[in-house]
Each structure stands twice: as C-alpha cells, then as structure tokens.
Chains A and B, each alone.
Chain A
Amino acid sequence: GNSVTQMEGPVTLSEEAFLTINCTYTATGYPSLFWYVQYPGEGLQLLLKATKADDKGSNKGFEATYRKETTSFHLEKGSVQVSDSAVYFCALRSGGSTLGRLYFGRGTQLTVWP
C-alpha cells in the first residue's frame, strides 16, 4: 500500500540554522512526492514537488531530492528564518492513482527562534 513516514517533531531551531526533516515512503507504482507547508490556522500550500527518481524539487530555499533507492524525500534548508515556522507535511501521490489522492505524513512542527 501507500504510506508516508515523517520525522516526528517538534523541531526547534535558531535562525540561520540548517534544517532537515526526514521523510520516507512506501508506494505502489511510481509515485510523485510533495512537501506541503501549513501556517497556523490556514490550509496547506504546496512547497515543492518531484515527479520521478533523482528529481530535485526546490522553492524558497527549501530542497528535496526524490531518492528511489532509499525511498526518501528529505526536506532541507540551509538557513532557516523565523517566518519558516510552520507545520510541514510530506505527501505522495501514487502513480496509479487517476483521482490524484494524496497520502500524507503526520506533519512536523518547525519553530524557528530569532
């Protein structure tokens, strides 16, 4: 089946620190992988995505590389800011899904202190 396992939080960092949030998956077929961000009281926003092995998604200084050999899609940022404080969700969409259903990890709360 399809599932996403995400690093448990919360993660607390100082501004300009390096961020890694681990994400691994199991999937049927060839999934697309996503990272979503949720700010307090809001819905989800797509942060980045990768649709095939070895693709690197990037946006706003965040990066994640689709690693098929390790079934991973870890999120990284070299220097976090206070404004990055949010909940981050790793998700996959099965390659065999015609409806486009997403499977989410549990989310990781990130807090960045000035």
Chain B
Amino acid sequence: GAVVSQHPSWVICKSGTSVKIECRSLDFQATTMFWYRQFPKQSLMLMATSNEGSKATYEQGVEKDKFLINHASLTLSTLTVTSAHPEDSSFYICSARGDGQNTEAFFGQGTRLTVV
C-alpha cells in the first residue's frame, strides 16, 4: 500500500511552547488529510479534515486556534499544537487519501506528544 510518513514519532515539550507535527504522503498525492487524536485505550477522535490549499474543517469541540492545520501541498500537512499544556499530551495520528470516492486512506505511524 501507499506510504504515509509522520514526524516526529515522539516529542516532549515544555508547557507553553508550540509543537509541529508533519504528515507526508511519500508516493501519492494526498488530496485530503485527516488528523486524529487517540487517548489511551480509546478510539481515534477525528480532529479535523483538510483539503490541499483550503482551510481545514474542524470537528465540534476542537479549538482551531490551538490546533493549527496547514495543508499547503498535495504531499504535506502539518499540525501545530500551540501553547501546549499537559492535557494536550496524547497520540496524534494523520491519515491521507488521494482523489476518488473509493480511494483508501493510509495512516501515519503516529506521534506521541508529552507536555511537561
């Protein structure tokens, strides 16, 4: 299957700082990218959906000013957690899919964020 690379795989940051997570589709053009958050032993919670070149659509309850999503090219999307706090500590996973209604979505390996 296609490859989606997420970086970094883990990061530790201090409270109040910002962290950027990158999601790259390595061998296909990702028209749409999804960002999920996963709490321990729970399912994936969709945070936002982004299409290349347009603003992301955030799910209800997700602060768009705190979780900045940029999808500037067909192979790269970034999630920036601004002014991070310990409660933002979580596992963040991106997913990318190309054009077409039945096109599969491929997942990155996830980023473990710990805010201290």
Contacts and interface: CB of A to CB of B under 8 A. Distances in A.
Q: Do A and B bind each other?
A: yes
B67 interface: no
B1 to A, nearest CB: 7
Interface size class of B (residues with CB under 8 A): 20 to 34
Contacts, number: 51
Contacts of B24: none
Contacts of B93: 43-44
Nearest to B42: A106
Interface residues of A, number: 22
A98 B103 CA distance: 10
A43 B102 CA distance: 21
Interface of A: 32, 36, 41-46, 49, 51, 89, 97-102, 104-107, 109
28 contacts: A32-B102, A36-B107, A41-B112, A42-B109, A42-B110, A43-B4, A43-B107, A43-B108, A43-B110, A44-B44, A44-B107, A46-B104, A49-B104, A89-B43, A89-B44, A97-B101, A99-B32, A99-B49, A99-B51, A100-B32, A100-B97, A101-B34, A101-B46, A102-B34, A102-B105, A104-B44, A105-B43, A106-B42
